[in-house]
Amino acid sequence: MPLDDRIFEIRVTSGSEPGSCHISAGCPGETERSHEDVKLPPFSDWNTKLLKLQEALLLEPLNRTFEQMPVAKGSKFTKDRASPLVLEEIGQSLFDLIFVRNIFAGFAKNFEKANRDHINLRIRLAIEAAELSALPWETLYNASERRYLAPSPKTPIVRGSSDDADFWSPAELPLSILGLVPEARGFGSLNVEAEKANIRNALESALDPKDFNLGWINPGNASELVDRLDEPPPGSSSWHVLHFIGHGGYDDEMEAGYIVVDPDIRPSGVPASSGSAEKLYADDLRSALDTANGLRLVILNSCKGAATSPGTLFSSTAERLILQGFPAVVAMQFEISDEAAIAFSAELYKQLARGSQIPDAVTRARMTLKRMQSPEWITPVLYMRTREGRLFREISAA
């Protein structure tokens, strides 16, 4: 089992002056912290950069590689280099914004110390300035070293909050995973069977069959989710992981994220749902998850589970779950192609089954997408409220 990561926390809050932010950074348990006040660029600058990213990731089929990505009209980028330069431009802007002066000095010092100790430096971001919360921090790019932080095992990126705490411990085997797969007719088909098979194969590659449980909910509605969470599998006191395969989104009017589930089966005398699918908002999802006291990780392998509204704090599905005390959530901040979602979850579960810490497993899965030359490696977001990164306590070799 590898040594624990060294954690470098960066907290960003709104500044005392309009159009500014305050940044503080340091390692937990150490008194030394760096502080900087930074003037923010006009929000129109971010809009321009994000529009380029949207053109590269969202407006065209998402299974295209960098070389196949379109170029915006009037763009100075050539067709075969459009997407990488868009990501670098946004990532460098975000890096230069928060890794400024004393913050960068503290980062460099702790990165060097982690290297000497042969451990990783986990970057934990608490973005509490509303105007910055919707930005894609997973693109952070250190131009001086020509490398991204998030897809490097030396610098995994986790989003959290300033009041994170260690209030859970690794689960005992067997590891119990419950999958929710709504039919949600009318929202587009997904290669569900491939993802389910890859998850099982990943678990079987590292764990003895007696050391894991894998169950699936059908029909995929909220009532069935509550009932199954309330009934742990044999040999386990609770389900530990909820894996959602499906569709999700963000409701601008409600200022809240949601996942799409099948309609509940209503009792006689209660009008049935008028549609073939229903929105399960983050607050209601959290209430359902409270049924399983041992649940540690939620994986929302759906579109926009981490999407939020600019200027609104803690409004995405993942952020709401974390804000309300849930330990760890993996979600997507943009739409994600079926191919990328399948590849990501297969590698994620392979790493988790091998005993990797959750941030390291997400990073390895992100690296897989990047090696596929897919810009969708920036899409997954890991939120954690706890510094403990291990999902279960020990492994029995298969």
Mean pLDDT lowest among 166-175, 200-209, 218-227, 349-358: 166-175
Q: Note the pLDDT tens digit of each residue in 287-341.
A: 999 988 889 999 999 765 455 555 444 458 888 888 877 889 999 988 888 889 9
Classify residue 397: in a domain, yes or no.
no
Question: Residue 102: phi, psi to the nearest 5?
Answer: -60, -30
Domain identity same for 80 and 196: no
**Residue 227 structural domain:** 175-384
Q: Are residues 200 and 110 in the same domain?
A: no
Within 13 Å of residue 263, how many CA atoms lie on the same side as its CB? 12
To the nearest whole number, what is the mean pLDDT of the chain?
A: 84
Q: Are residues 87 and 220 in the same domain?
A: no
Number of neighbours of residue 282 by Cβ within 10 angstroms: 27
Half-sphere exposure of 290 (CA within 13 A, CB side): 10
The answer as to whether 398 is a domain residue is: no
Do the beta carbons of residue 292 and residue 237 sit within 8 Å?
no
Q: Are residues 180 and 134 in the same domain?
A: no
Q: Is the pLDDT of residue 130 over 90?
A: no
> How many other C-beta atoms are found inside a 10 Å radius of the C-beta of residue 288?
20
Better-predicted residue by pLDDT, 350 or 272:
350
Beta-carbon count within 10 A of 378 CB: 25
pLDDT at residue 223, rounded to an integer: 93
Q: Domain boundary residue among 164, 191, 220?
A: 164
Q: Do 329 and 159 touch, CB atoms closer than 8 A?
A: no
With beta carbons less than 8 A apart as the criterion, state whether 171 and 392 touch. Answer: yes
8 A C-beta contact, residue 248 and residue 259: yes
d(C-alpha 95, C-alpha 242), whole Å: 33
Residues 285, 317: one domain? yes
Q: Does residue 211 share a domain with residue 191?
A: yes
Residue 155 neighbours by CB distance under 10 Å:
22
Return the CATH number at 243. 3.40.50.1460
Per-residue pLDDT, 3: 55
Question: Quick one: 1 and 21 in the same domain?
Answer: yes
Count: domains in the chain:
2
Whether 393 is covered by a domain: the verdict is no
**207 shares a domain with 138:** no
The C-alpha atoms of residue 239 and residue 232 are separated, in whole angstroms, by 6
Q: Which residue has the tokens 């110390």?
A: 113
* DSSP-assigned letter for residue 17: S
- Look at residues 342, 307, 313, 329 and name the one whose alpha carbon lies nearest to residue 385: 329
Distance CA 16, CA 113 (A): 33
DSSP state of 274: S
